[in-house]
Amino acid sequence: MTRHLLQLEGLDEHQLSALLDRADALLPVARREAPASKSLSGRLVAHLFFEDSTRTRLSFETAAARLGARSIVLTENGSSTSKGETFLDTALNVEALGVDAIVVRTGLSGGPQLLARHVACPVINAGDGRHEHPTQGLLDCLTIRRSCGAIKGATVAIVGDIANSRVARSAVHALTTLGAHVRLIGPPTLLPASLKQLTPHPDRVTISHDLDSNLGDLQAIMMLRVQLERAAGGAIGSDYRIQFGLTRERASRLPASCIVMHPGPVNRGVEVDDDVADDRRRSQILSQVTHGVAVRMAVLEHCLEAGQAPRAG
């Protein structure tokens, strides 16, 4: 793995497991059961968020703080992009400030790759358009590994707007590489059959347009938000919840040990019913958030080669 984290596609089992192992080891810090580390003391991380974010942005900032690094944040609202400055120029100027890493979220699929070709510091993708959301994929894997014991051999359903979901793309790459079977489930308009070819392991992916017949043997079910901002609205019917929502009745047909996941933000009463989202026996939605801090600590450490002295000047 390079010092950038741009996508999970292409990372092998060993590289993914090493990041998950490190995140697992850092989890007590994320949970505030162990003291914060100083491994990135003196480092400065820039967080460029050109799309809205609650969890991911605060999670990266929290992770940097728990490693002793400082953060600066730029959001699209209030930046000079409104004056016509390009995405790349903005990043080059941020690098010229002397930052040690750039965390970036953008609506432009491939935007982080573009930056990584032009800046010298590590670039970490915090979600790019419909492409990938690698730290979300890692935190989803950590959640399944910790709750289910192992990823290899687990059957995981990902339900909803797969076509527009960077979360699904990163999860499919990581989960299939680590030996899980992934069931992609959604309406045909949001789940083209070509998505089976997303991974080098298409034999570990099945596609279904019927949620009801796929509930009985799952270890984990990951519900996705319909990405209205990516024009998915026209592709769903008003009966979305009836067909693809994880209602209380459907949840009762899951195996007792099956966990419920969602990357957030949750549209309660659409993709997940209140009772299911709030069921602390099954729902891992808040644990995913804590796991995200540990994962981002592991990624920042890796990309910034923790322990080395900050660059002179």
Q: Are 198 and 172 in contact (CB under 8 A)?
A: yes
Q: Does 137 bind ligand NCD (CB under 6 A)?
A: no
For residue 232, the minimal CB distance to ligand NCD (Å) is: 10
Task: Please answer whether residues 57 and 49 qualify as being in contact, where contact means their C-beta atoms are separated by less than 8 angstroms.
Answer: yes
Q: Is 127 or 186 the residue whose CB approaches ligand NCD more closely? A: 127
> Residue 127, interface with ligand NCD (CB under 6 A)?
yes
Tokens matching residue 99: 């930052």
Nearest-approach distance from CB 225 to ligand NCD, in angstroms: 4
**Which one of 263, 271, 297, 303 is in contact with ligand NCD (CB under 6 A)?**
263
**How far apart, in whole angstroms, are the C-alpha atoms of residue 57 and residue 62?**
9
Q: Which of 4, 43, 133, 181 binds ligand NCD (CB under 6 A)?
A: 133
Q: Out of 22, 145, 169, 225, which residue is the one contacting ligand NCD (CB under 6 A)?
A: 225
> Rule CB under 6 A: is residue 134 a binding residue for ligand NCD?
no
Among 62, 71, 136, 287, the residue binding ligand NCD under the rule CB under 6 A is 136
Percent helix, percent strand, percent coil in the chain, to nearest 5: 40, 15, 40
Neighbours of 229 (CB within 10 A): 12
User: C-beta of 108: minimal distance to ligand NCD in Å?
Assistant: 14
**Considering beta carbons, is residue 55 or 196 the nearer one to ligand NCD?**
55
Total of chain residues touching ligand NCD, rule CB under 6 A: 11
Give least dist CB 57 to ligand NCD, A.
9
Which residue do the tokens 């491939």 mark?
110
Strand ranges, E, within 14-147? 44-49, 70-75, 101-106, 123-128
Of 1, 11, 4, nearest to 174 (Cα)? 11
Distance of CA 179 to the CA centre of its chain: 19
Beta strand pairing call for 44-49 and 70-75: parallel
Query: 106 or 176: whose CB is closer to ligand NCD?
Result: 106
Binding ligand NCD (rule: CB under 6 A), the pick from 68, 107, 264, 310 is 264
* 107 touches ligand NCD (CB under 6 A): no
Longest CA–CA separation in the chain, Å: 61
CB 71 within 8 A of CB 61: yes
Give whichever of 66 and 105 is closer to ligand NCD, judged by the CB atom.
Answer: 105
- The helix-helix angle for 134-148 and 285-303 (nearest 10°) equals 120
Nearer to ligand NCD, 55 or 241 (CB): 55
Q: Give the interface segment with ligand NCD, choosing from 28-36, 95-103, 206-214, 263-271 (CB under 6 A).
A: 263-271
Rounded least distance, CB 51 to ligand NCD, Å: 7
**Is 183 one of the binding residues for ligand NCD (CB under 6 A)?**
no
Write out the binding residues for ligand NCD, residues 25-84 only, by CB under 6 A. Answer: 55-56
CA angle 32, 36, 39 (to 5 degrees): 150
DSSP 77: T
Nearer to ligand NCD, 52 or 275 (CB): 52
Q: Is 185 in the site for ligand NCD (CB under 6 A)?
A: no
Query: Is the CB of residue 180 less than 8 Å from the CB of residue 156?
Result: yes
Q: What amino acid occupies position 67? A: L
* C-beta of 28 vs 265, nearer to ligand NCD: 265
Whether 129 and 104 have beta carbons less than 8 Å apart is answered as: no
Q: Which residues bind ligand NCD (CB under 6 A)?
A: 55-56, 127, 133, 136, 166-167, 225, 263-265
